[in-house]
């Protein structure tokens, strides 16, 4: 398993890093669109575990929807898309998660199918908007989510005693979540205090928040983003448990599926994208 994880990670980095650093921006957009399309394919398979044949059709519809937004939607429409997606994560998802494993997926399948047509394009637009402003801005938002996950893992291993949501994800603990949040806040403080004075890092997410909203605003939004990343992870865990599967797919040996890799990003990106839009207008 470890060997498969390492090989898969190396292959993915070998594809992603050259496209990110060396290729024209449109190549990054195409690569991210591929990831989003495969994640939407997995989304259907979680919602319809006994009817996976139409997953390819749904993924195609999501890609077509993304292409339509890209070609015809203006900035105001994209901003509306991000608001709708944010509303899904802060209103609808908590209601679903409150029901834990008693959640009746049969009644919610089609609303969630429709929601996916907003969730995945919103993720793509947020990423591309951040990258269009600055590579550092783009990477710092990703780092926020990755550091929260890494910090939660190690803090949970070392100190975890109280389960965060034992029925949805038995391995996650409150101590782990707090540890992940603390590690992100340390990175955020460094980003706002130190890295904004280095030319390469002038447009990192934390420095931008500090400049526009002050230290308190930066800390508050950082904590919100960490909380949203945890929510995304737990929500996918809920859907997987109800569907009776361990991973969203087996497309990434040792890692599960693409949805497993981006579940924490899905709710964070609309928040980060909207905040950047609002404070830079």
Domain segments of the chain as ranges:
2-280
Return the SS3 of 55.
helix
Q: What angle separates helix 135-159 from helix 105-133, to the nearest 10 degrees?
A: 130
The percentage of the chain sitting over the pLDDT mark of 90, rounded to a whole number, equals: 68
Highest-confidence segment of 15-24, 29-38, 186-195, 196-205: 29-38
pLDDT tens readout for residues 166-182: 888 888 999 999 999 99
pLDDT(200) > 60: no
Q: For position 152, what pLDDT does the model report? A: 92
Local confidence band at 2 (pLDDT 50, 70, 90 cut-offs): low
Q: For position 202, what pLDDT does the model report? A: 64
pLDDT(196) > 70: no
pLDDT tens readout for residues 201-252: 567 999 999 989 999 999 999 999 999 999 999 999 999 999 999 889 888 8
Local confidence band at 195 (pLDDT 50, 70, 90 cut-offs): low
The DSSP-derived string for 96-129 is HHHTGGG--HHHHHHHHHHHHHHHHHHHHHHHHH
Local confidence band at 77 (pLDDT 50, 70, 90 cut-offs): very high
pLDDT tens readout for residues 81-104: 999 999 999 999 999 999 999 999
Local confidence band at 64 (pLDDT 50, 70, 90 cut-offs): very high
For residue 191 the two structure tokens come to: 């980003």
Residue entry with tokens 């590579």:
135
pLDDT tens readout for residues 34-53: 999 999 999 999 999 888 88
Return the SS3 of 244.
coil
C-alpha distances (whole Å) from 79 to each of 6, 84, 123, 267 are 37, 9, 12, 15
For residue 101 the two structure tokens come to: 């494993």
Largest CA distance in the chain: 54
The DSSP-derived string for 148-187 is HHHHHHHHHHHH--SBSSTTT-TT-BHHHHHHHHHHHHHH
Q: For position 130, what pLDDT does the model report? A: 95
For residue 90 the two structure tokens come to: 């802060």
Mean of the pLDDT values across residues 121-126?
96
């Amino acid at each position: 398993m470890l060997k498969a994880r390492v090989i898969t990670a190396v292959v993915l980095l070998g594809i992603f890093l050259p496209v990110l650093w060396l290729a024209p921006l449109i190549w990054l957009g195409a690569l991210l669109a591929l990831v989003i399309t495969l994640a939407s394919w997995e989304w259907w398979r979680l919602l319809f575990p006994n009817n996976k044949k139409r997953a390819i059709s749904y993924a195609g519809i999501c890609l077509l929807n993304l292409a339509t937004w890209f070609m015809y939607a203006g900035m105001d429409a994209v901003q509306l898309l991000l608001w709708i997606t944010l509303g899904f994560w802060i209103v609808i998802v908590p209601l679903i998660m409150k029901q834990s494993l008693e959640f009746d997926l049969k009644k919610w399948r089609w609303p969630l199918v429709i929601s996916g047509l907003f969730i995945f394009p919103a993720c793509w637009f947020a990423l591309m908007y951040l990258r269009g402003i600055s590579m550092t801005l783009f990477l710092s938002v990703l780092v926020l989510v990755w550091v929260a996950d890494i910090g939660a893992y190690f803090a949970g291993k070392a100190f975890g005693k109280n389960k965060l949501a034992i029925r949805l994800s038995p391995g996650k603990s409150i101590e782990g979540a707090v540890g992940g949040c603390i590690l992100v806040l340390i990175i955020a403080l460094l980003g706002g205090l130190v890295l904004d004075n280095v030319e390469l890092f002038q447009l990192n997410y934390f420095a931008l928040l500090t400049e526009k909203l002050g230290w308190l605003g930066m800390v508050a939004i950082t904590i919100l983003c960490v909380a949203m990343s945890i929510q995304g992870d737990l929500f996918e865990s809920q859907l997987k448990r109800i569907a009776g599967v361990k991973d969203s797919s087996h497309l990434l040996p040792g890692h599960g599926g693409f949805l497993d890799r981006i579940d924490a990003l899905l709710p964070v990106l609309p928040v980060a994208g909207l905040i950047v839009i609002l404070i830079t207008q």
